[in-house]
Amino acid sequence: MDNITLSLSQFLKATSTTSPEETISAPLEATETTLYSMFDVIDAWRENQVAQGRTHYFSFSEWDNGHSLADHIRTTALLVEYEAGRIDAVKQHLDEMGLAYFVIPTFATDKTAKGGKKRVDCYAIAIPLQEALNDSDTLRAASLVIEAIEIGGITNGSYMATYLFRFRDTGSAEFRPGKLFSRTIMEDAATVRTNVRTWVREAK
């Protein structure tokens, strides 16, 4: 497994004009020159958010001066967010696929069928990319992973480059080593049709 560098950006608000408050880059695994890994960054940022009672927004992409598609520079890890009850089945599929991935306790705010809002406990799956992707390739790559897993309960839009996740104060993060998602996987699946809406969590 290549020791690539990943980026995690923090936003104070989830608006298209908000610039990242901070972006931290770290290797997938610690090295002699960088004594921390991306998992260490994820875990430390989550602990900080929980300790201070904050719910800031995060992304594995790098950005220019905002949070719109036009500001998106590159995605360093695919992200898909599943409701918490599906995570064991999702992990089993990813282990069978042999992909490296992070498991991150998160939460989402869903619209209800009656027009209200409710909090949903989730886990985000973040899959390191061998090569950073633009926004359209990010969506295509995430869609291929979603179709391969074939499990519902996905937060609407969580597979897009512009999605921002929020850390949850329960559960624990983990990293499972494996192969990196590569362009070769996308090329081999060039004829595969995807429909992510099939797997999106419906309003209740």
Residue 149 counted as domain residue = yes
Tokens 């839009």 belong to 157
115 pLDDT tier (thresholds 50, 70, 90): confident
The percentage of the chain sitting over the pLDDT mark of 90, rounded to a whole number, equals 93
pLDDT in tens, 128-182: 999 999 999 999 999 999 999 999 999 999 999 999 999 999 999 999 999 999 9
76 part of a folded domain:
yes
pLDDT of residue 76: 99
Q: Tell me whether residue 29 is in a domain.
A: yes
Contacts 24+ apart (CB under 8 A), 188-191: 189/144
User: How would residue 204 be classed by pLDDT, with cut points 50, 70 and 90?
Assistant: confident
Domain that holds residue 137: 5-199
Residue 6, beta-bridge partner list: 26
User: Which pLDDT does position 97 carry in this prediction?
Assistant: 97
- Paired tokens of 74: 């590159």
β-bridge partners, 84: none
Q: Is residue 64 part of a domain?
A: yes
Residue 197 pLDDT > 80 = yes
Residues 5-46 have pLDDT tens digits of: 999 999 999 999 999 999 999 999 999 999 999 999 999 999
- Asked whether residue 58 is assigned to any structural domain, the reply reads yes
Domain count, the chain: 1
Q: What is the mean pLDDT of the chain?
A: 96
User: Does residue 204 lie in a domain region?
Assistant: no
Q: Give the list of residues 6+ apart from residue 64 with CB closer than 8 angstroms, or none.
A: 70, 71, 72, 73
Taken in order 166, 185, 130, 103, the sign of the CA dihedral is positive
